[in-house]
Structure 1
Amino acid sequence: MSLNILIVDDHPMTVDSYVNLLSDTEFQKELPIFIKSHNCEDAYNKITFELKQNKNIDFALLDINLPPFKKLNISNGIDLALLVREKFKNCKIVLLTMHSEPLTVDKIIKGVKPEGFISKSDINFELFPVLCKRILDGEIVQSDTIIESQRDLFKKNINWDNHDNQILILISQGVKTVNLPNYIPLSMSAIEKRKASIKDQLLKEKGSDKDLIEKAKNLGLL
């Protein structure tokens, strides 16, 4: 039976390249059915259409940075991945990115648990279909840059959960502490305790939010 493969990237040439590479009979004996998209809104509409047709999406290749669908608060490929995960339980999700900041990578791995997480800088035409085949066959695949990013986090002895990561990332984006409960399902006091713990680990002494973000950036966490 043909695989249904969703491919979302804001560069049409990249989407077409993925299609060509996965159309080889060494990847799948039967030619897959490709669902192509270049932004979050169109991808959402195509996912919804497949659901209405009672069709599965078996494999999803999602770029992380995508034009958002603001109306439904689907900001990027991570939000799309969570939607695909919810609607198609058995779909294998592969996230592709140019970014490898340790905290962002860790947040994505813990939040989405993708079957594949690949830095675009690690792949070429030969390697890409090989990695996709391994993922389809049941392996969890992370490319070298993603693995190194996780190793960097481990070396710094930082093992925060997803909420800790979100606190630091949101503060770096300019969100005030008082507004963090709007983004994270924790009480104000719980957030303040976590923030104090993060400051203690990174600054070893008291400092402002600006000092905290500067230190995280210097460590390569953001």
Structure 2
Amino acid sequence: MQKLKILMVDDHPIIIEGYMNVLMATKAEDQELSIDTANNCDMAEIMINRAAKDVHYDLCFFDISLPPSQDGKYTSGEDLAKLAKSMLPDSKIIILTMFNESFRIHNIIREINPDGFLIKSDLTSMELADAFQHILKSPPYYSSTVHNYVKQTLTSEIYVDDINRKILYLLSQGIKTKSLLDHISLSMSAIEKRKKQLKLLFSVEDGKDETLLAMAKEKGFI
């Protein structure tokens, strides 16, 4: 009997219930599934740290859009996926998201290199079942939208690193630029330079932070 321990993280309980029902109904006869769930970053962090000390998860499913942790350390499923890769190096990481912009997809692949990457609008019950078995045996598995974007040659690849994502998150929480020094170990000139780069990256023509945040949110970075 193949006993598989799974973590599913999504802030919509009905979606998690759907995933669980599909996997339980389509698992192989010799597979036994034990599934833990979390609906926010704080709960997921606790479960990942606990698993690192006990029985590791075989697979971890992460939605990208999640309520951030109370301390602001983890702001998305991307952050949790990185934590899981560090704490649970033998676990297979699967990303599920509504975001389907090409640069967002490439950014996730570059930062996380997940074993599975599924766009929710691509998913059917059968594809989720097939993806699950494929990832167990021969990762990676990309749903059709991800696969098509990966094949494309982009003229420019947008890449937002951890520090830039933290700047965007803090600004979105109302933190003023001058106060970013309290949260980020950079000089003010370095922070200002990164903000200018972000505005160029997101084609912010009016130079306003509000426009930057609106564009970043639209593209799924906040």
TM-score past 0.5 threshold: yes
Deviation digits for residues 13-54 of structure 1, max 9, x if unmatched?
Answer: 1111111111135446222111111111112222233334x2
Distance in 1, Cα, partners of 2:220 & 2:46: 35
Instruction: Flag the 1:162–1:154 CA change in 2: closer, same or farther, 3 A.
Output: farther
Q: What residue in structure 2 maps to residue 70 of structure 1?
A: 70
Percent identity, aligned pairs only? 31
Q: Compute the TM-score of the two structures, normalised by the length of structure 2.
A: 0.72
Answer yes or no: is the 8 Å Cα contact 1:9–1:63 preserved in 2. yes
Q: What residue in structure 2 maps to residue 116 of structure 1?
A: 116
1:72, CA displacement in angstroms?
Answer: 5.7
Task: Judge which range, 1-10 or 16-25, deviates more.
Answer: 16-25
> Does 1:127 pair with 2:104?
no
Instruction: Flag the 1:180–1:154 CA change in 2: closer, same or farther, 3 A.
Output: farther
Distance in 2, Cα, partners of 1:78 & 1:90: 17
Aligned residues: 218
Structure 2 unmatched ranges of 5 or more? none
Distance in 2, Cα, partners of 1:77 & 1:191: 25
Instruction: Flag the 1:144–1:27 CA change in 2: closer, same or farther, 3 A.
Output: same
Output the amino acid matched with 2:47.
Answer: K
Answer yes or no: is the 8 Å Cα contact 1:2–1:30 preserved in 2. yes
Task: Judge which range, 63-72 or 144-153, deviates more.
Answer: 144-153
> Does 1:107 pair with 2:104?
no
Distance in 2, Cα, partners of 1:166 & 1:94: 21
Answer yes or no: is the 8 Å Cα contact 1:181–1:187 preserved in 2. yes
Root-mean-square deviation over aligned CA pairs: 3.9
Structure 1 unmatched ranges of 5 or more? none
Q: What residue in structure 2 maps to residue 44 of structure 1?
A: 45
1:194, CA displacement in angstroms?
Answer: 8.6
Output the amino acid matched with 2:13.
Answer: P
Q: Superposed, which structure 2 residues align to 1:159-178 within 5 Å?
A: 162=161
Q: Superposed, which structure 2 residues align to 1:5-20 within 5 Å?
A: 5-20=6-21
Q: What residue in structure 1 maps to residue 86 of structure 2?
A: 86
SS of the aligned residue for 1:68 comes to coil
Output the amino acid matched with 2:81.
Answer: A
Answer yes or no: is the 8 Å Cα contact 1:164–1:195 preserved in 2. no
Answer yes or no: is the 8 Å Cα contact 1:59–1:92 preserved in 2. yes
Distance in 2, Cα, partners of 1:201 & 1:73: 24
